[in-house]
Structure 1
C-alpha cells in the first residue's frame, strides 16, 4: 500500500484557500510518538496541550481546536479513536473527548508497515513537512514533535505516484542577486571568503502552497528575518511596507532594534528592471501566515 499517496489524499477543511495543517500536525506528532513508543494508544487528555501548542505555533492565525484533527483524521483510514465505552470517536468537541476518555492510535496496517520499514516514518514525515510548511520551520517543528533528527536528515525524499516536484536550484542565486545580496528588511550583507553567508531566498507564498520559484515571489532576507517572516512575526503590505505582529513581544534592545523598529519601514526594492514581489503573494502571506493584528509603526 502506498501510504504517501494515501496521506496526500487526506480530506481537509477548505475555505478561500486557507492553510489547514491540522491533520498533518497531528500525524507528525503521532509519528514522533511512534518512534519513541510504538503504536501505544494516545489519550486525548494527555495530547491536548501539545496539539494545542502545535496548532498555535504552526497552524493558521485563526484559533482552532485540537479536537478537530483528533476526531476528523478518523475519516481518512489512518487513525482510530476509541472511548471508554467502545470503538468510535465521540466527535470533535473538547468536552466529549475528555469525558469519554478518548484515545487514538494509528491504523494497525499503517503501524505494521512503519514497524517493518523504519524509513517509512522518514518518508511520511518528509512529505508532510514539504507539503505543508516552509523549509525554515522544519527543524523546529521536528524537535517539537520529537521526530529523530538524525534519521530525518538522511536526505530521503517522498513523492506522490513517483513524480517528484523539484525546486529550482537557481532560485536562491536569482533572488540574492536581485536584492544585491542584502536583506530586504535590515540591510545585512555578510560575506565569508567571497561567499554570501546568512542570507536566504524567502518564498513569500510558500512553495508548498503553489508559491513559484520566481522573483515575483522571492525576497532576500537574512536568516533571522527569514525565520520571523515564515513564523508570521513579520509581514508586508501591498505597498511593500514591513509589518510587525502585535503579538510579538521583545523587551531587549536587540529585539527592538532587529524586529520592533522595522514596523512601518519600507522593504528594500530589487534592482531596477527586476521584478518586485507581486501583490497576490503578499496578500496570501498576510492572510495565511502573518499573525494579525499588525503593530502601529
Structure 2
C-alpha cells in the first residue's frame, strides 16, 4: 500500500467527492464501512479516514484502494493524513479521552512513611512512556531498557529521600488498566516478581494497544501529560522534567531555538578579541516541513499585516511586514494542520511570545500573559478570518502546563 504517493490535493479531491456523493454512497462505491476509530475533521465536517485515503490513493496513482487492501491499521492511515496537515480525531474522542484521563487521575500510587505526598514513580514512568509514544517508538519496552532509563529519572525527580525502584512502576502500573507486562510465566504472577525474576525472564512492559492508540492523537497526548503533571507533579520544574523525559517539544508551541542548545564555536580571534576571518560553516542535511505560502499570504492580507495581538504594523525594506504564526505547531509533537484556521497574523515580538508560551488566548478571546503580568486585551479577528477554537484551546493547555512551574510566577 503506497500511502506515500498521496498528497494534500488528492485528499481534498476525495473529500469533495465524499460531499458530492454523500457518505453512504461514497463508502458503498469504494467498498468501505463506516470508520470505527479515526476520522478526518475538515471545515467542520467529518470523513472516514481509511475511505478517504483509499480514494486519495486512486487520485494519486489510478489505483483506488479498498478496505481489504490496507496492510496497516487505522492509526497508520491517521498518521499519514496528519503528516499531510489534516486534523484526524477518534470517532468518539470525548468518551475515550475522558476515560483515559480518569484512569490517569486515579493511579494507585503508594505513599511513603511520614509523608502524605503520593509517590512519583508511576507518574514519571508514564511521562517517559508517553515520550516514546510521541516518537512512535515500540509500544512495549524490555525490562533492562526501562530499568536503565527510568531508574535515573526516579532519582532526579522522585520525592526527596525516596528510593528509586523502577521495578515497582514496571509491574504495578498494570493496576491503572492502561499498562501491560508480558514475558513473565503465569505461575510467577500471583505476586509481584522480584528483580531477579525480571532479569532472568526479560519481560516487556508498556501501554496497552488501546491506550497507545489513543495517545497517537496529539490532543489526547497533551491532555494526558497535563493531567499527570497537575495531579502528581505540581511542584516539579516542568522545563527540566520535559528535557529529561524526551518531552522538550512541549516547552514551546512552535519551533523556537533554544539558545542554550546552540552549538558553540566561532571564527578565530586575534589578541584584541576581533575575528580574523569569516564565521565558520558546516554542511548539514535537514528535513523541513513545507508550508503553504499561499495560506501565509492570505492571513496577512486578511489582517492587513497588522498584529492581531498588539495591533502593531511593522515595515521592512519600505514594505509592510508581519508573520504568519501557527497556533498549534506543525511539527512534532503537536502535528497541527497547515490551514487558515490554525494561523494568526502577528508581529515578530508577539510571535516569539506566543510560541514561547508567554501569552495565550483565553476562552473569552482575551490575550493574557501566562505569568499574570499583562493587561488582557482582545484578540483582533477579521470576520473573513476563521480561527479554530480547538487550536486555541490546545495552545492554552500548553501555556497552562508551564504557568505554574516553580519560578514561573
TM-score by length of 2: 0.36
Q: What's the TM-score, normalizing by structure 1?
A: 0.48
Q: Which has the larger radius of gyration?
A: 2
